[in-house]
Structure 1
Amino acid sequence: MTEMLRRLDASDALREVKPLCMRFLKDQSKENAVILRRALEQLTDDACQELHEYLLLPLVLVLKKEKREALVAETVASIRVVLEKTKVNDESLFSDIFLQLLFVVSAVKENLQVSSTSEEVKLEVCNALKSLINCALPRVLLHLYSLDFRLCLSHAVTILLLLAEKERNRKLQIAAMECLGTLACNTVNDIFKSAALFEKAGNAFAGFFPGISIALTRVILDAENRSQKVSAVAFKIWGHVIHICLGDTYLEALCPDDEEKHKTKMPVVCRNEEWAKSTAEKLLILVDKVLPSLAMCADHVKLAALEWAHTLLLLCSRSLEVLAPTVLQMVLALSADDSERISMQSRSVLDEVANQMLVLDSLSLTEILEEDFHRTLGKFPRIFRTGSEDEKLNLVKLLCGYLRIFRTKIAKILMSPTVCQRLLGILFLVTEFDTGKLNLLAEQATSLDFQNAVDPAINCCRNQFMHFTNMNIYREFTIVCKLLGTYGDIMMLMDALRNKIEESARHRKQAILVLANVLRSLTEDTEGGHASAKLEDSGFIGSLLEYFVSKNLWDLPLTGAGGAEGTADAIQQRSLCIIPLDKMNSNILQSCLLLDAVAVLSQLSSNFQPLLRICLCPMLEKADSPNYLVSHVACTTLWQVARACGYSSISELIHHNTDYIANTVLFKLRHPSSHGDVTRIVQALAKHSDKSSAGLLEDVGHEVLNALDFCHKDNALPFLKVLASIVVYLNTWFPAAPKMGGLKDSVTMQMPPSKTFRQFVEEFHRCKTLSADMEFTDEELESSEAVPEQDVCDVEMDEKPPVPGHIKLLVQVLKRCIHLQSSSNIYIQTAVLSIIKHAVIPMSCYQDELLPVVHLLWQPLVARFQKDDWHLCAKAFEVVSSLAETSRDFIRERTLREVWPRLAKFLHSQHAVSKNKGKAYEITSAFKYQLVLLRQLGPISCQLEVQEQGIDLLASAVVPYLELLQPLKLQEAAIECIENLARCSADTVWYCVVMAHCTSETPWSPGPPLQPLPLRQTPCSENSNVLRVMAFLTSLDEQQE
Structure 2
Amino acid sequence: CLVLHVVKMDKLTGTMFEKAHFQKAFCTLKPACDAFITEPNDVNSKLLKNAMAMVPEYALTQLQPYVLIPLEIHLKANKSNCTVNVLDVLTTLLKKTSISLWPTFMRIYKMLVEKLTHEKNPDIAVNLSEDIKLSIIIALNLLIEKADIVVLNEMYNEVDCKHVGYLIYICTIIIKKEKMNILRVEALKCISMLLSNWNKNIEFNIRLKIIQRLIKFVPGVLSVCSIIVNATDIQHHSITVAAINLWSTITSLIICDEYVIEDCNPYLEKSICNDNKNNDKQKLNDWIKENRTNFNLVATHMNKTREHQHWRVRLQLVSSCDVLLSKCTSSMKSSVTSLIETLIVLSDDEQPEVEKLANESVDKLHKIFDGQNKKSLLELLEESFYILLSRIPRFIRTSNYIKQKTELSLLSGYIKLFGKAHLSQVLNSYAHLDRLITVLIQILELEYKTITLLEESSIRDLNSIQTFTADMSRNVPWKQLIHFNDTSALCKIECICKLIGLYGDSNFIGRYLMDLFESRAMYRREITLLINMVLSENSGEYHYNLVRDVIDLYLECDVWYLPTSIENNSTTNIADAQKNVIQICLMTEGLSKLVSSLPVTQQSLCLIHCLYPILERVGSEHGPISLAGQSAITLLAHSGGYRDPIDLVIKNSDYLSHHFTNKLWSLSKHPEVLNALKVMMNLNSGDDLLQSFHTMVTEVLVQSCDVHRTENMHSFMKVFHIFVMCVRKREQKCSPVSDHTEKSKSSSNCVIENILQYHKLMTFDLENDLEDEYWENKLNSYTPCENNENVAEDDEDDEDNKKPLPPYIEMVLSIMKRVLHYLPSKHNSLPLQILNEGLNVISSYEDQLLPMVHKIWSPLCTKFNSNTDDIVFREAFNVLTTMASTAKDFIRSRSLKQVLPTITERLVSNAKQSKNVAKGSVYFTSHKYKMQYTILSGLADFVLNLNFFEKDMYDVSNSVAYYLDKDQPIELQNKSKEFYKKLYEKHSDFIWIYLQSLYVDEYEYKSDNERLPTIKVYSSSLFNKSNISKNVSELIEPLNI
TM-score (norm 2): 0.74
Tell me how far apart the structure 2 counterparts of residues 53 and 257 of structure 1 sit (CA, whole Å): 48
SS in 1 for 2:1018: coil
Query: Quick one: structure 1 residues 269 and 42, their matched pair in 2 at CA, closer, same or farther if it must change by over 3 Å?
Result: farther
Q: Which residue is 1:477 aligned to?
A: 493
Matches within 5 A, 1:13-28: 13-14=22-23, 17=26
The CA deviation string for residues 309-340 of structure 1, in whole angstroms up to 9 with x for no partner, is 11112454466444211323444555566766
Query: CA shift at 1:555, angstroms?
Result: 0.5
The more displaced of 322-331 and 718-727 is 322-331
CA distance in 2, matches of 1:431, 1:256: 50
Distance across 1 between alignment mates of 2:370 and 2:738: 81
Alignment of 1:129-208 (within 5 A): 130=142, 133-134=145-146, 136=148, 141=149, 150-151=157-158, 154=161, 157-168=164-175, 169-170=183-184, 172-177=186-191, 179-180=193-194, 183-185=197-199, 197=202, 203=208, 206-207=211-212
Aligned-pair distance for 1:539? 2.6
Cα deviation per residue 1:114-148 (whole Å; 9 max; x = unaligned)? Answer: 89789758955863664575475xxxx4x568799
SS in 1 for 2:434: helix
Q: Does the CA contact (< 8 Å) of 1:377 and 1:423 recur in 2?
A: yes
CA distance in 2: counterparts of 1:234 and 1:434, whole angstroms:
43
Distance 1:691 1:897, change over 3 A: same
1:1018 match: secondary structure: strand
Alignment CA distance shift 1:674-1:290 (3 Å): closer
The worse-fitting range, judged by mean Cα deviation, of 55-64 and 605-614 is 55-64
Which residue matches 2:714?
Answer: 717
Deviations 1:505-532 (A, max 9, x none): 1111111112222234x2xxxxxxxx42
Counterpart check, 1:497 vs 2:497: no
Show the counterpart of 1:772.
none
Match among 356, 361, 381 for residue 369 of structure 1 = 381
DSSP 3-state at the match of 1:716: helix
CA distance in 2, matches of 1:412, 1:649: 43
Matched to 2:678, the amino acid is Q
Deviation at 1:377, TM superposition (A): 2.1
In the other structure, the counterpart of 2:592 is 599
More off after superposition, 635-644 vs 414-423:
635-644
Partner deviation per Cα, 1:185-235 (whole Å, 9 max, x = no partner) = 47xxxxxxxxx8385785465435634542431231343557653442233
**2:607 is matched with which residue: 607, 612, 621?**
612
Q: Which residue of structure 2 lines up, in the alignment, with residue 836 of structure 1?
A: 835
> 1:271-329 CA deviation, whole Å, 9 max, x = no partner?
99888877766633442454447766854333322211111124544664442113234
Q: Secondary structure at the match of 1:558?
A: coil
Q: How does 1:22-421 map onto structure 2 within 5 Å? A: 31=40, 38-39=47-48, 42-43=51-52, 47-50=56-59, 52-56=61-65, 59=68, 67-69=76-78, 81-82=92-93, 84-85=95-96, 93-104=100-111, 124=136, 127=139, 130=142, 133-134=145-146, 136=148, 141=149, 150-151=157-158, 154=161, 157-168=164-175, 169-170=183-184, 172-177=186-191, 179-180=193-194, 183-185=197-199, 197=202, 203=208, 206-207=211-212, 210-211=215-216, 213-223=218-228, 228-244=237-253, 268-269=280-281, 283-292=295-304, 298-317=310-329, 320-332=332-344, 334=346, 342=354, 345-359=357-371, 362-383=374-395, 392-408=404-420, 409-421=422-434
Distance 1:255 1:910 in 2: 99
- Please state how far the C-alpha of 1:375 moved relative to its aligned partner: 1.9
- Tell me, yes or no, if the aligned pair for 1:951 and 1:985 is still in contact at 8 Å: no
CA distance in 1, matches of 2:121, 2:987: 121
SS in 1 for 2:428: coil
1:246 to 1:586, Cα distance in 2 relative to 1, 3 A: same
Q: Residue 370 of structure 1: CA displacement?
A: 1.8
User: Residues 47 and 338 of structure 1: is their aligned pair in 2 closer, same or farther, counting only changes over 3 Å?
Assistant: closer
Measure, in 2, the Cα distance between the counterparts of 1:371 and 1:654. Answer: 52
Structure 1: runs of 5+ lacking an equivalent: 1-7, 187-195, 523-530, 562-574, 769-787, 1001-1014
**Structure 1 residue identity aligned to 2:335:** L
Give the secondary-structure state (helix, strand or coil) at the position aligned to 2:219.
Answer: helix
Question: How far, CA to CA, are the matches of 1:683 and 1:38 in structure 2?
Answer: 92
| DSSP 3-state at the match of 1:534 | coil
Aligned to 1:565: none
- Per the alignment, residue 919 of structure 1 pairs with 915
1:472-501 Cα offsets, whole Å, 9 max, x none, are 544443333233223222112211111110
Distance 2:480 2:595 in 1: 26
The Cα of 1:48 is off from its aligned counterpart by: 4.1
Q: CA deviation at 1:166?
A: 3.2
Matches of 1:991 and 1:203, distance apart in 2? 113
Give the 3-state SS of the residue equivalent to 2:668 in structure 1.
Answer: coil
Q: Is the 8 A contact 2:196 2:250 kept in 1?
A: no
Amino acid at match of 2:445: E
Q: What are the Cα deviations for residues 927-979 of structure 1, in whole angstroms up to 9, with x where unaligned?
A: 987886676565346546x5xxx747844753654877997889998998799
Moved more, 163-172 or 491-500: 163-172
Pick the structure with greater CA Rg: 1
Give the equivalent residue in structure 2 for 1:958.
Answer: 956
Is 1:451 aligned with 2:467? yes
| Coordinate RMSD, CA, aligned | 5.8
Rounded to whole Å, the distance in 2 between the matches of 1:46 and 1:996 is: 104
Deviations 1:377-422 (A, max 9, x none): 2224544566666655544443333333333322211111121111
Asked if 1:901 corresponds to 2:917, the answer is: no
Q: C-alpha deviations, 1:662-717, integer Å up to 9, x for none?
A: 11011100122322211222123234565574344333333332333336344311
Contact 2:21–2:59 (CA<8 Å) still a contact in 1?
no
Q: 1:979 to 1:588 in 2, by over 3 A?
A: closer
- What one-letter code is carried by the residue in structure 2 that aligns with 1:412? Q
1:647 and 2:642 correspond: yes
Partner amino acid, structure 2, of 1:311: V
- State whether residues 252 and 324 of structure 2, in contact with CA within 8 Å, keep that contact through their aligned partners in structure 1: yes
Residues 45 and 85, structure 1, Cα contact 8 Å, conserved in 2: no
1:3 maps to which residue? none
1:763-810 CA deviation, whole Å, 9 max, x = no partner?
x99xx9xxxxxxxxxxxxxxxxxxx99x99x99999966644432332
Q: Hey, what's the Cα distance between the residues in 2 that align with 1:201 and 1:444?
A: 85
* In 1: Cα distance, 2:951 partner to 2:294 partner: 106
Aligned AA (1:214): P
Aligned residue in 2 for 1:707: 703
CA positional deviation for 1:884: 3.8
Q: Percent identity?
A: 18
Distance 2:401 2:321 in 1: 27
The SS at the match of 2:221 is helix
Q: Which one-letter code corresponds to 1:626 in the other structure?
A: E
* Cα separation, partners in 2 of 1:991 and 1:863, compared to 1, 3 Å: farther
- Alpha-carbon spacing, 1:204–1:691, altered in 2? closer, same or farther (3 Å): farther
3-state DSSP of counterpart to 1:826? coil
Change (3 A) 1:603 1:23: closer
CA distance in 1: counterparts of 2:48 and 2:503, whole angstroms: 67
2:669 matched to which residue of 1?
674
Deviation digits for residues 901-926 of structure 1 (CA, Å, limit 9, x no counterpart): 21244368669857977628999989
**Corresponding residue to 2:631 among 630, 636, 644:** 636
2-side partners of 1:211 and 1:941: how far apart? 103
Aligned 8 A contact 1:201 1:244 in 2: no
| TM-score calculated relative to the size of structure 1 | 0.74
Moved more, 31-40 or 401-410: 31-40
Q: In 1, distance between residues paired with 2:281 and 2:157?
A: 12
* Offset at residue 250 of structure 1 (A): 11
The separation in 1 between residues aligned to 2:572 and 2:439, in whole angstroms, is: 30
